[in-house]
Amino acid sequence: MRALIISDVHSNLEALQRVMDDAAARGGFDAVWCLGDVVGYGPDPEGCIDLLSRQELVCVAGNHDWAAVGRIGVEQFNDRAAQAALWTAARLKRDHVRFLAGLALVERQGDFTLAHGSLRDPVWEYLVNRDSALNTFSRLTTPYCLVGHSHLPFLCRERDGVAEFAPFAENESVSLGASRMIINPGSVGQPRDGDARASYALYDSDEGAVTRHRAAYNVPVTQERMRRAGLPEHLIWRLSHGR
């Protein structure tokens, strides 16, 4: 079984389409595991939901998904994120609202647990330090956990009660072995690790490995659509820089 692992698509259909094409060219996938924030920031919320809905999909809710359907307010968002969330909410049709509102906070697939931020606080917590990683390990009932939210790809292994973070490099293949692990595949639609290309991972159950990849997409196409939609200039700018 092969799963395409994606997170933080953020209504960037151009990037999502390229990631799916890239993954198809690398041997394809049987299922899509999405770690939340399908919408928010970008210009194509309906297109991204429609494309994902046509896949064999397991998807958890992110903070932007809930904000777009009113399950949380936008008070905790910065001004630009709030503006984009309200823009998204205003254009979603009933089916899209139903899709987003129906997403669970945590899903389990075989040896993996999927959540957007962390297992302590799936919608909001950024899993970026040892404290948050150890807390998620303490709640983890499967060997491996997949998270997004920070838009930063990483690996975090549990060894002798310690959480060890390591970079998850492009084209790096990590073997799933004895130690438990938290994996972040990076962001499809708004990378923040200084690389503008979309980031994702592929899980292959025969190989027992997860591999991270990057896919270059046509950033100006997304940016032009954002400009036409009147989305904040900073959100447009940052896609060129991967930050």
Residue 125 binds Zn ion (CB under 5 A) = no
65 binds Zn ion (CB under 5 A): no
Residue 63: CB minimum distance to Zn ion, A? 7
Return the number of the residue (37 or 125) whose C-beta is nearest Zn ion: 37
Q: Does 193 bind Zn ion (CB under 5 A)?
A: no
34 vs 163, beta carbon nearer Zn ion: 34
Q: Closest CB to Zn ion among 14 and 37?
A: 37
Beginning with the edge strand found earlier in the chain, give each strand of the sheet holding 173-175 in spatial order: 57-59, 31-34, 2-6, 198-204, 209-215, 173-175
Straight-line distance from the first to the last Cα atom of the chain, in angstroms, rounded to the nearest whole number = 33
DSSP codes of every residue in 106-128? EEEETTEEEESS-SSSTTT----
Q: Which is nearer to Zn ion, 176 or 183 (CB)?
A: 183
* Nearest distance in Å: CB 18, Zn ion: 18
Find the part of the chain contacting Zn ion (CB under 5 A) among 4-12, 19-27, 51-59, 231-239: 4-12
Which tokens in the block code for residue 2? 């092969």
Rounded to 5°, the CA angle 167-127-125 comes to: 155
236: three-class secondary structure by DSSP: helix
Q: Which residues contact 77 (CB under 8 A, 6 or more apart)?
A: 63, 67, 85
Q: 62 or 158: whose CB is closer to Zn ion?
A: 62
Examine residue 22 and tell whether it contacts Zn ion (CB under 5 A): no
8 binds Zn ion (CB under 5 A): yes
How far is Cα 36 from Cα 27, in angstroms, rounded to an integer?
24
In angstroms, what is the minimal distance from the CB of 196 to Zn ion? 16
Instruction: Give the residue, chosen from 37, 65, 125, 158, that forms a contact with Zn ion under the rule CB under 5 A.
Output: 37
Least distance in angstroms from the C-beta of 8 to Zn ion: 4
| C-beta closer to Zn ion: residue 82 or 209 | 82
Spatial contact of 47 and 73, defined as CB atoms under 8 Å apart? no
Please give the structure tokens belonging to residue 42.
């970008």
> Segment near Zn ion (CB under 5 A), from 34-42, 80-88, 101-109, 132-140?
34-42
Interface residues with Zn ion (CB under 5 A) are 8, 37
